[in-house]
Amino acid sequence: MLDVAALREEPWPEHDWEALATRAADAAIAQSPYGEWRDWPSVIEIAVRLTSDDEVRTLNRQYRQKDKPTNVLSFPMVQPDLLEAVAQNSDDGEVILGDIVLAHGICAAEAAERGVSVEDHAAHLIVHGVLHLLGYDHIEDAAAEGMEDMERAALASLGLHDPYSVRED
Protein backbone atom coordinates (compact mmCIF):
# COMPACT_ATOMS: atom_id res chain seq x y z
CA MET A 1 0.00 0.00 0.00
CA LEU A 2 1.21 3.48 -0.83
CA ASP A 3 0.85 6.38 1.61
CA VAL A 4 1.81 9.79 0.21
CA ALA A 5 1.66 12.92 2.33
CA ALA A 6 1.90 16.33 0.65
CA LEU A 7 2.71 19.55 2.46
CA ARG A 8 1.92 22.75 0.54
CA GLU A 9 3.71 25.94 1.49
CA GLU A 10 3.52 29.41 -0.02
CA PRO A 11 3.72 30.31 -2.86
CA TRP A 12 2.09 27.09 -4.11
CA PRO A 13 -1.61 27.65 -4.86
CA GLU A 14 -4.47 25.75 -3.25
CA HIS A 15 -5.03 22.41 -4.96
CA ASP A 16 -5.53 18.76 -3.96
CA TRP A 17 -1.77 18.19 -4.02
CA GLU A 18 -2.01 15.04 -1.94
CA ALA A 19 -4.24 13.33 -4.51
CA LEU A 20 -1.98 14.51 -7.35
CA ALA A 21 1.16 13.34 -5.53
CA THR A 22 -0.41 9.97 -4.72
CA ARG A 23 -1.41 9.37 -8.36
CA ALA A 24 2.04 10.41 -9.61
CA ALA A 25 3.90 8.27 -7.05
CA ASP A 26 1.68 5.27 -7.75
CA ALA A 27 2.24 5.64 -11.51
CA ALA A 28 6.03 5.84 -11.02
CA ILE A 29 6.14 2.75 -8.81
CA ALA A 30 3.85 0.87 -11.20
CA GLN A 31 6.29 1.45 -14.08
CA SER A 32 9.30 0.34 -12.03
CA PRO A 33 10.40 -3.17 -11.10
CA TYR A 34 8.79 -2.48 -7.69
CA GLY A 35 5.24 -2.33 -9.01
CA GLU A 36 4.24 -5.30 -6.87
CA TRP A 37 4.73 -3.15 -3.75
CA ARG A 38 1.40 -1.53 -4.51
CA ASP A 39 -0.35 -4.80 -3.60
CA TRP A 40 1.68 -5.69 -0.51
CA PRO A 41 0.33 -5.20 3.00
CA SER A 42 3.39 -3.09 3.92
CA VAL A 43 2.81 0.65 3.87
CA ILE A 44 5.28 2.47 1.58
CA GLU A 45 5.51 6.08 2.76
CA ILE A 46 6.58 9.08 0.68
CA ALA A 47 6.50 12.71 1.79
CA VAL A 48 6.19 15.49 -0.81
CA ARG A 49 6.93 19.06 0.19
CA LEU A 50 5.88 21.88 -2.12
CA THR A 51 7.93 24.93 -1.14
CA SER A 52 9.76 28.01 -2.37
CA ASP A 53 12.83 28.30 -4.56
CA ASP A 54 14.72 29.80 -1.61
CA GLU A 55 14.00 26.76 0.57
CA VAL A 56 15.05 24.36 -2.20
CA ARG A 57 18.22 26.41 -2.75
CA THR A 58 19.05 26.06 0.96
CA LEU A 59 18.47 22.29 0.86
CA ASN A 60 20.43 21.93 -2.38
CA ARG A 61 23.37 23.82 -0.85
CA GLN A 62 23.19 21.88 2.41
CA TYR A 63 22.86 18.39 0.98
CA ARG A 64 24.37 18.59 -2.51
CA GLN A 65 26.82 21.49 -2.16
CA LYS A 66 25.10 23.29 -5.06
CA ASP A 67 24.22 26.87 -4.18
CA LYS A 68 21.24 27.25 -6.50
CA PRO A 69 17.61 26.23 -6.59
CA THR A 70 16.54 23.23 -8.64
CA ASN A 71 13.13 21.96 -9.67
CA VAL A 72 13.04 18.80 -7.53
CA LEU A 73 15.14 17.19 -4.83
CA SER A 74 14.80 13.61 -3.63
CA PHE A 75 15.98 12.30 -0.29
CA PRO A 76 15.89 8.49 -0.28
CA MET A 77 15.65 6.76 3.09
CA VAL A 78 16.46 3.28 1.75
CA GLN A 79 19.75 2.32 0.15
CA PRO A 80 19.26 1.11 -3.44
CA ASP A 81 20.79 -2.29 -2.71
CA LEU A 82 18.22 -2.87 0.05
CA LEU A 83 15.13 -1.98 -1.98
CA GLU A 84 14.53 -5.54 -3.19
CA ALA A 85 13.76 -6.89 0.28
CA VAL A 86 12.78 -3.80 2.24
CA ALA A 87 9.00 -4.07 1.93
CA GLN A 88 9.01 -7.76 2.80
CA ASN A 89 11.28 -7.37 5.82
CA SER A 90 9.78 -4.33 7.49
CA ASP A 91 9.56 -4.80 11.27
CA ASP A 92 6.40 -2.73 11.69
CA GLY A 93 4.87 -3.04 8.23
CA GLU A 94 5.93 0.47 7.25
CA VAL A 95 8.72 1.56 4.93
CA ILE A 96 9.67 5.22 4.69
CA LEU A 97 10.86 5.41 1.10
CA GLY A 98 11.88 9.06 1.29
CA ASP A 99 11.09 12.71 0.75
CA ILE A 100 10.60 14.78 -2.40
CA VAL A 101 10.81 18.58 -2.44
CA LEU A 102 9.57 20.79 -5.31
CA ALA A 103 10.46 24.45 -5.89
CA HIS A 104 7.46 26.53 -6.94
CA GLY A 105 9.14 29.24 -9.02
CA ILE A 106 11.21 26.83 -11.05
CA CYS A 107 8.30 24.43 -11.51
CA ALA A 108 6.01 27.25 -12.64
CA ALA A 109 8.63 28.67 -15.05
CA GLU A 110 9.34 25.24 -16.55
CA ALA A 111 5.61 24.55 -16.92
CA ALA A 112 5.12 27.86 -18.76
CA GLU A 113 8.12 27.15 -20.99
CA ARG A 114 6.68 23.73 -21.89
CA GLY A 115 3.11 24.99 -22.29
CA VAL A 116 1.68 22.73 -19.57
CA SER A 117 -0.08 23.43 -16.29
CA VAL A 118 1.87 23.74 -13.05
CA GLU A 119 -0.09 20.73 -11.77
CA ASP A 120 0.93 18.56 -14.74
CA HIS A 121 4.57 19.58 -14.44
CA ALA A 122 4.49 18.97 -10.68
CA ALA A 123 3.15 15.47 -11.39
CA HIS A 124 6.08 14.89 -13.75
CA LEU A 125 8.56 16.09 -11.14
CA ILE A 126 7.00 13.84 -8.50
CA VAL A 127 7.27 10.85 -10.86
CA HIS A 128 10.91 11.83 -11.46
CA GLY A 129 11.51 12.20 -7.73
CA VAL A 130 9.96 8.83 -6.89
CA LEU A 131 12.23 7.14 -9.44
CA HIS A 132 15.18 8.76 -7.68
CA LEU A 133 13.87 7.35 -4.38
CA LEU A 134 13.89 3.94 -6.09
CA GLY A 135 17.58 4.32 -6.91
CA TYR A 136 17.39 5.55 -10.50
CA ASP A 137 19.49 8.42 -11.79
CA HIS A 138 20.33 10.20 -15.01
CA ILE A 139 24.07 10.68 -14.67
CA GLU A 140 25.04 8.13 -17.33
CA ASP A 141 23.29 8.17 -20.71
CA ALA A 142 22.06 4.57 -20.53
CA ALA A 143 20.65 5.06 -17.02
CA ALA A 144 19.04 8.33 -18.09
CA GLU A 145 17.30 6.64 -21.02
CA GLY A 146 15.93 3.89 -18.78
CA MET A 147 14.70 6.42 -16.25
CA GLU A 148 13.13 8.56 -18.98
CA ASP A 149 11.35 5.50 -20.41
CA MET A 150 9.79 4.79 -17.00
CA GLU A 151 8.83 8.47 -16.66
CA ARG A 152 7.19 8.47 -20.10
CA ALA A 153 5.20 5.34 -19.29
CA ALA A 154 4.12 6.69 -15.88
CA LEU A 155 3.09 10.04 -17.37
CA ALA A 156 1.23 8.34 -20.23
CA SER A 157 -0.70 6.28 -17.65
CA LEU A 158 -1.74 9.60 -16.08
CA GLY A 159 -2.73 11.04 -19.46
CA LEU A 160 0.13 13.56 -19.37
CA HIS A 161 2.56 14.84 -21.99
CA ASP A 162 5.93 13.32 -22.88
CA PRO A 163 8.46 15.77 -21.41
CA TYR A 164 11.27 14.25 -23.47
CA SER A 165 9.66 14.38 -26.92
CA VAL A 166 12.05 17.11 -28.11
CA ARG A 167 15.70 16.11 -27.94
CA GLU A 168 18.76 18.13 -28.74
CA ASP A 169 21.53 16.22 -30.53
Coil, helix or strand at residue 49 = strand
Is 121 marked as a binding-site residue? no
Residues whose CB is less than 8 angstroms from the CB of residue 43 and which lie 6 or more positions away in sequence, other chains included? 1, 2, 3, 93, 94, 95
Task: Please name the amino acid found at residue 149.
Answer: D
How far apart are alpha carbons 64 and 158 in whole angstroms? 31
161 annotated binding-site participant: no
- Cα separation values, 111 from 29, 124, 138, Å: 23, 10, 21
* Coil vs helix vs strand at 91: coil
Q: Is 128 annotated as a binding residue?
A: yes
Neighbour order of strands in the sheet with 43-51: 2-8, 43-51, 94-103, 72-76
Which residues sit in the known binding site?
128, 132, 138
Which residues sit in the known binding site for Zn(2+)?
128, 132, 138
